[in-house]
């Protein structure tokens, strides 16, 4: 039996599934017996609108809580709309540490790099590995703090590994600044509850819209 919207998390991501609860699904089924195509259209629109609503609110809340540009959070959110014949929409959220350079506009200073409200003493902003510049620090620097460079392991002479890169054959190992998103895990439950309530609200609106269309059609007939 359907239990409504639900979520699950892994070490690197979270996934919220949007679907009607058992009671709501029964009411929907009763209406669908009368006008099946209209009911299906109403449900599809309601779930897809809820996905869009949830994506916007999660991006806004995480951005505000973690001091991250909203566009950077939205890049970690991926909505999967309802497909034909299905009753579920999904919202995927990658919660691996986010490169600090993507949380705002990095600025190089004499003492290090600043981006938003974060300061990385002794760091530098440049293109070291890949096609884009990032915020790096030598691990031997007195300013190095492991908490500012999460999810990293020292790389060997073979090259980069999990955010670290060996420079000059590992004589000067570097770490890439990242921002942990672990604090968002406890929020998945509250987001899912809010999505459930929002889905019911929108579903009622969409069903009413379809019902009014159906009644107007019958009146003309």
The string of pLDDT tens digits covering residues 119-174 is 999 999 999 877 889 999 988 899 988 888 886 544 443 444 444 444 434 445 88
Alpha-carbon span 95 to 107, nearest angstrom? 25
The number of angstroms, rounded, from the C-alpha of 198 to the middle of its chain's C-alpha atoms is: 18
Looking at the DSSP bridge assignments, the partners of residue 113 are: 108, 120
pLDDT category, 220, cuts 50, 70, 90?
Answer: low
Comparing 100-104, 105-109, 122-126, 157-161, which segment has the lowest mean pLDDT?
Answer: 157-161
CB 24 within 8 A of CB 203: yes
Closest CA to 50 of 83, 89, 76: 89
pLDDT category, 118, cuts 50, 70, 90?
Answer: very high
Over the range 79-112, which residues count as b (16 or more CB within 10 Å of their CB) and which as e? bbebeeeebebbbebebbbbbbbbbbebeeeeeb
Alpha-carbon span 35 to 27, nearest angstrom? 13
pLDDT tens digits, one per residue of 1-17: 446 788 899 989 999 99
CB 68 within 8 A of CB 116: yes
Q: What is the pLDDT of residue 119?
A: 94
Closest CA to 148 of 174, 109, 185, 187: 174
Looking at the DSSP bridge assignments, the partners of residue 136 are: 124, 176
pLDDT category, 217, cuts 50, 70, 90?
Answer: low
Q: Which two tokens stand for residue 151?
A: 């999810």
Q: What is the pLDDT of residue 20?
A: 77
């Amino acid at each position: 039996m359907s239990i409504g919207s639900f979520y699950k998390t892994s070490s690197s991501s979270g996934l919220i599934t949007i679907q009607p609860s058992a009671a709501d699904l029964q009411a929907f089924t009763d209406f669908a017996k009368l006008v099946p195509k209209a009911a299906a259209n109403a449900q599809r629109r309601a779930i897809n609108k809820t996905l869009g609503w949830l994506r916007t609110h999660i991006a806004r809340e995480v951005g505000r809580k973690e001091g991250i540009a909203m566009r950077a959070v939205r890049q970690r959110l991926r909505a999967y709309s309802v497909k034909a014949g299905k009753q579920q929409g999904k919202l995927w959220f990658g919660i691996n540490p986010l490169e600090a350079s993507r949380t705002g506009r990095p600025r190089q200073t004499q003492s290090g790099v600043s981006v938003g409200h974060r300061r990385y003493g002794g760091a530098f902003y440049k293109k070291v590995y890949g096609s884009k510049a990032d915020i790096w620090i030598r691990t031997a620097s007195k300013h190095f703090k492991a908490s500012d460079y999460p999810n990293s392991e020292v790389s060997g002479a073979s090259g980069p590994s999990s955010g670290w890169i060996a420079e000059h054959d590992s004589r000067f190992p570097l770490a890439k600044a990242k921002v942990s998103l672990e604090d968002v895990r406890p929020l998945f439950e509250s987001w899912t509850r809010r999505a459930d309530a929002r889905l019911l609200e929108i579903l009622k609106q969409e069903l009413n819209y379809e019902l009014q269309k159906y009644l107007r059609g019958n009146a003309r007939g």
